[in-house]
Structure 1
Amino acid sequence: MTIYRERLWASPWVFLSTALVIPASLLVFLPINRIAGVIVAIALYAACVAILIATSPVVEVTSEHFAAGRARLPLEFVGAAQGFEGDEATLERGQRLDARAWLLIRGWISPVVTVQVTDANDPTPYWLVSTRRPGELVKALAEARAQHSRS
């Protein structure tokens, strides 16, 4: 059962800046053929958008695991979670970052959540995950851990 799910879409400004591929390809192909230039420009922009969408990772909490992108952490190894926004999030991604931490961060998403890893055999102390809704993710992790410990 899925308790929380969020796809880390790129921000609108990323899609807008990707549109710069249109004039760039027009500059290259218009001198050769106008129709080909327009078709190539549209196709390249569509391909860039498709790649951005297809590679957007999913953060998910289920009744059995916490997933961030392709990585999965069973709930039995999920420790305390804490959300950070603004300057605190910047510090977590920078000065306070442990080099052993597992990261799923996106530059266009400022808030982050740290999730402690309680597996003694795992050298990773915590996961640092970007999220637009840190409060909801922390709450979902606490709820999932509580349900898992009861079962």
Structure 2
Amino acid sequence: MQSYEERLTAPRSWWVIAALVGVACALMLLPLGTLPMLGGLIGGAALSAVAVSSYGSVRIRVVGGALIAGDAKIPVSALGEAEALDAAEALAWRTYKADARAFMVLRSYVPTAVRVEITDPEDPTPYAYVSTREPERLVAALASARG
């Protein structure tokens, strides 16, 4: 059985923006003195870094006969056909082809994805859309886990 694990980390440019938020907070507090300015720099940078880190900490895994995407754990027995989506097709499935009932682990900074049909008759969710940097590997891991 082939396992799969990926963390959809935020791009480096977001970390630069987090640092710039700290600088902006420092500049806003500069008229109040040096200590408030340092507090703004540290506090602003720290809060924005926490936001970037938490958004970029989602994990995609195939372990123990289940697809774990973010907070969801879907057994492979409830999954149907998995389709690797290139950048253009992934964009289509996140916009005009999207179904409002679908489960989505969507990160706009990851251009490719996998769409997996959900075959459980008890579940109204038609498919799961999972952003991934390695769609072919994820499809192969799901096929391997299905047996």
Name the TM-score, length of structure 2 as normaliser.
0.90
> Which 5+ residue runs of structure 2 have no aligned equivalent?
none
Alignment correspondent of 2:72: 71
Alignment correspondent of 2:21: 21
Shift of 1:144: 0.8
Shift of 1:44: 2.0
1:33-91 CA deviation, whole Å, 9 max, x = no partner? 22331232123212322332234211110122111100110121011111112211111
Q: Which runs of 4+ in 1 moved over 3 A?
A: none
The aligned length equals 146
Paired with 1:86 and 1:76, the residues of 2 have a C-alpha distance of: 28
Alignment correspondent of 1:36: 36
Change (3 A) 1:143 1:2: closer
Question: Which region of structure 1 is more displaced relative to structure 2, 95-104 or 119-128?
Answer: 95-104
Alignment correspondent of 1:57: 58
Task: Kindly indicate whether the alpha-carbon contact (under 8 Å) linking 1:59 and 1:67 is maintained by their aligned counterparts in 2.
Answer: yes
Alignment correspondent of 1:149: none
- Cα RMSD, aligned residues only: 1.7
Change (3 A) 1:32 1:2: farther
Q: Aligned residues: percent identity?
A: 36
Task: Kindly indicate whether the alpha-carbon contact (under 8 Å) linking 2:22 and 2:43 is maintained by their aligned counterparts in 1.
Answer: no
Q: How do 1:106-117 residues align onto structure 2 when only pairs under 5 Å count?
A: 106-117=107-118
